[in-house]
Structure 1
Amino acid sequence: MNRITLATITLFILALTTYGLLEWYGAKKETSSILDNATNPEFIAENLNSDVYKATGALSYNVEAQRMEHYAQLEVTHFEYPRYTLYPKNNKPTWQVTANEGTLYNNNRVKLKNRVRLIATDEESLIQEVHGKNLEMDLKTNIISSEQTILILGKGFTMYGSGLIVDLNTTQMTLTEHVQTIYKKIKK
């Protein structure tokens, strides 16, 4: 093989490699721009305060949040510092749920995480507060659950355990695993 043929073949392979790399980077850019569009929120709300009603016209729940981002393509809504006030029956609030973060899915399930607190609005309630890392709420059935470690504060006691199911319709609370309960003397 002479030098001209070798130079021509080398130049052809170099051009083919350059073309292949440019096509590969171009395809990669298009894919990442499609993903970027899916991760951009469709709309954002600051200092959100929203009431949601049942089909009967009764108030179902109220949600407040410092910030809300709705992602239409992903069918999720993300909240920063949400506070849900739940009205399962008689239009009387029974519980407030707060967290640092929350995600509402299109099936009306909310996953709350980071410093989650379930607070009784009735001062006479035996259980006053429930603390945990994560809680899930089904806004259709009014059932709250968690598989994580739970701290329950009540009138005169503190309870530790894991696995919690709360049915707000019947006000029944079930702790899957009880670890410890500490009773305190109540001063009268």
Structure 2
Amino acid sequence: MNKRQSIPFIALLIAFIAWIYVKPDVEFPSLPDHHPSYIADDVKSHHYDEFGFNDYRVFAEKMTNYPETDTTFFENPKIIFYTKDKNSDSVTTWQLTSVEGTLTEKYNLLLSGDVLVENLSKDQLVQTMSTAQATVQLDSKEITSSKKVTWTGPQVKQEGVGLWASMVTEEMKLNSNIKAVYLNEPK
């Protein structure tokens, strides 16, 4: 290699070495410690049991997932449960809505803000339940609340503080301060 050919090579080598030692410190924006792994709009999710039965569906305007804490936040969630009677194979449909929802531990859903539970099949004594906050176990289909709860049916209205309800066994219980009104009117 002659002098003429080596000059560009040496100049390039000097520029590279200078860039390595004199490169400017560029600060790249960093993500916050707890950033979401994903954010989804207009969420629709179907969940099936081991036999292929559509166990429940989840809808939400927005969903934000944080994997560090295994937490998912929902805006305006709507959950539709399907429970099948093992004796008659009839399916009862329940709809749960609220302003906000927080899912933890995969099956523990905390609903808050105007929580409304409705029987869409209209085949149960209790047709609606409303409260400010409720916890739903998605796997066992149980609802609990420590707040004031109002439930209504075709000829009954009950209020109380605290609730436990199972959509599978169709059992419901108010814990304290219970007030009930029964109507003797024909349907």
TM-score by length of 2: 0.75
Q: Distance in 2 between matches of 1:61 and 1:158?
A: 27
For structure 1, which segment, 150-159 or 129-138, has the greater mean C-alpha deviation from structure 2 after superposition? 150-159
> Does the C-alpha gap of structure 1 residues 44 and 64 become closer, same or farther in structure 2, counting only changes over 3 Å?
same
Question: 1:85 is matched by which residue type in structure 2?
Answer: I
Deviation of the 1:181 alpha carbon: 1.4
Structure 1: give runs of 5+ residues left out of the alignment: 1-32
Output the amino acid matched with 1:161: G
CA contact (8 A) 1:159 1:182 kept: yes
Instruction: Report % sequence identity.
Output: 27
1:151 aligned residue = 150
Query: How far apart, CA to CA, are the structure 1 residues paired with 2:136 and 2:130?
Result: 14
Distance of 1:55 and 1:66 partners within structure 2:
28
Q: What is aligned with 1:167?
A: 166
- Greater per-residue helix proportion: 1
**Distance (whole Å) between structure 2 residues aligned to residue 92 and residue 103 of structure 1:** 27
CA contact under 8 A between 1:58 and 1:91: conserved in structure 2?
A: no
Per-residue deviation, 1:105: 0.9
Distance change in 2, residues 1:92/1:187 (3 Å): closer
- The 5-angstrom pairing of residues 31-180 of structure 1 reads 36-38=32-34, 40-89=35-84, 92-180=91-179
Distance in 2 (CA, whole Å) between partners of 1:91 and 1:60 is: 14
CA-atom RMSD in angstroms: 1.8
Q: Which has the larger radius of gyration?
A: 2
Alpha-carbon deviation of 1:91? Answer: 8.1
Where do 5+ consecutive residues of structure 2 fail to align? 1-29
| Paired residue secondary structure (1:102) | strand
TM-score, structure 1 as length reference: 0.75
Distance 1:63 1:137 in 2: 13
